[in-house]
Amino acid sequence: MLERVADNWWLAREAVSAVMGLWGWPWGRRGPSGFGSASTAEEVTAGVDATNLTAIVTGATNGIGKETARVLALRGAKVIIPARTLASGQKVKESLADQVPSSKLHVMEMDLSSLSSVRNFARSFDSSHEHLNILINNAGIMACPYQISEDGIELQFATNHVGHFLLTSLLLDKMKSTARETGVQGRIINVSSVAHKRSDGTCFELKKLNDKARYHPFIAYSHSKLANILHANELSRRFQEEGCNLTANSLHPGVIFTNIVRYIAGNSALLPVLSPLAKLVLKGVPQGAATTCYLALHPDLKNVSGKYFADCNEATPTAVARDAELAKKVWLLSEELVGTNAASKPK
């Protein structure tokens, strides 16, 4: 009970921060990039021609992932939509095609919580698509009851981080070859969250992650979001060391009404108070997808790597999220969880 009160207090505090304009919303304050929290995904990509680009957007079947896919398609990119079932993905494709008749959308089956499914997707993509310029690791689940994935990993960590770690690793060769052949810098974007602040970074051992007795839904979510940032940072370090033409960044999309309500819906005392206010002052989906689309397409992001963004501007995550040694530790743990050959090209 006390833990739920603490979570609701933390989420309410973040919502109040948004209302008071610390992120510029709703008054539209803009940062050095020229954009702010009121900017939409269409606005931050205006004038960008992505005709020759290929992108994968995980979690594109709803919410900010779907809006990200729509805007990338609107700018001319070929967009691959991984979906847990082809039927659900096809419905999304048809919906987006109605909005963007010129869209180039491809649906492929993948369940991020299953390592075998991720491997099958990577293998299929590698054989059917010549290039990959942009990988947006957006999909995620939030504060669910305790569950273990089919691979024996706590479900939020398995879905939000480990699945994306394996997917990224298996697609790196494709992205590197695309960058070499086209001369266009490849971009990897990890959608994290301000919730990473709730993780102190001491959790990254499988026994701790899987310990049901110490499991707390929102804290487990926070661990996975911290891992998203550390993953992007370590990718960036490795890219720089290798000298390949790829970048990796992470972001907080903003406090969005749907995510807050989904978590606090069980608290009948807070919901009637926050719901009307949230609809008026917090970000909607078009604003929630803006930072992702900015990182994916805006020319100002060329050669920018290893950074964390919020409201389409560089921001500062916690000190733990900037810990290079912890990033290496999480990388090694992730390799153990997916197998030592995670970074090899799909066969």
Would 101 be classed as within a structural domain?
yes
Q: Give the CATH number for residue 313.
A: 3.40.50.720
Amino acid 4: pLDDT: 53
**Is pLDDT of 309 > 90?**
yes
Q: Give how far Cα 258 sits from Cα of 24, 291, 325, Å.
A: 20, 17, 35
The better pLDDT of the pair 269, 347 is held by 269
Share of residues in the chain with pLDDT > 70 (%): 82
pLDDT 10s digits, 87-110: 999 999 999 999 999 999 999 999
Amino acid 21: pLDDT: 45
Evaluate whether 205 touches 225 at the Cβ level (below 8 Å): no
Would 25 be classed as within a structural domain?
no
The better pLDDT of the pair 119, 283 is held by 119
Domain region containing 98: 34-340
Indicate which residue of 146, 215, 221, 294 is catalytic.
Answer: 215
**pLDDT range class, residue 16, cuts 50, 70, 90:** low
**Residue from 300, 309, 285, 153 nearest 228 by CA:** 309
Q: Lowest-pLDDT range, 4-13, 192-201, 327-336?
A: 4-13
The better pLDDT of the pair 9, 253 is held by 253
Distance of CA 295 to the CA centre of its chain: 11
Would 257 be classed as within a structural domain?
yes
Amino acid 255: pLDDT: 82
Amino acid 278: pLDDT: 58
Q: Lowest-pLDDT range, 121-125, 267-271, 323-327?
A: 267-271
Evaluate whether 141 touches 262 at the Cβ level (below 8 Å): no
- Please state, rounded to an integer, the average pLDDT across all residues of the chain: 89
Amino acid 134: pLDDT: 99
The DSSP symbol for 148 reads B
Would 261 be classed as within a structural domain?
yes
Amino acid 88: pLDDT: 95
Report d(CA 345, CA 177) in Å as an integer. 12
Report d(CA 18, CA 14) in Å as an integer. 6
Would 181 be classed as within a structural domain?
yes
Amino acid 256: pLDDT: 79
Residue for token pair 């948004």: 18
Report d(CA 112, CA 211) in Å as an integer. 21
Amino acid 115: pLDDT: 98
pLDDT 10s digits, 236-251: 999 999 999 999 999 9
**Is pLDDT of 84 > 60?**
yes
Would 27 be classed as within a structural domain?
no
Torsion of CA 200, 201, 205, 210, to 10 degrees: 40
pLDDT 10s digits, 253-285: 998 765 444 544 444 455 555 555 555 567 899
Report d(CA 166, CA 184) in Å as an integer. 24
Q: Is the dihedral of CA 36, 40, 254, 252 positive or negative?
A: negative
Structure-token pair, residue 312: 């389409």
**Is pLDDT of 344 > 80?**
no
Burial class (CB in 10 A: 0-12, 13-18, 19+), 19: middle
Report d(CA 250, CA 235) in Å as an integer. 11
Amino acid 22: pLDDT: 40
Once rounded to an integer, what is the mean pLDDT over residues 18-47? Answer: 77
Domain total in the chain: 1
Does the active-site annotation cover 146? Answer: no
Amino acid 174: pLDDT: 98
Amino acid 276: pLDDT: 59
Helix axes 2-19, 271-281, angle to 10 degrees: 30
Q: Give the predicted TM-score (pTM) of the model.
A: 0.90
Task: Find the angle CA(25)-CA(31)-CA(35) to the nearest 5 degrees.
Answer: 70
Evaluate whether 78 touches 104 at the Cβ level (below 8 Å): yes
Would 4 be classed as within a structural domain?
no
Pairing of strands 134-137, 78-83: unpaired
Report d(CA 341, CA 170) in Å as an integer. 9
pLDDT 10s digits, 162-221: 999 999 999 999 999 999 999 999 999 999 999 999 999 999 999 999 999 999 999 999
Amino acid 267: pLDDT: 46
**Is pLDDT of 2 > 70?**
no
Would 149 be classed as within a structural domain?
yes
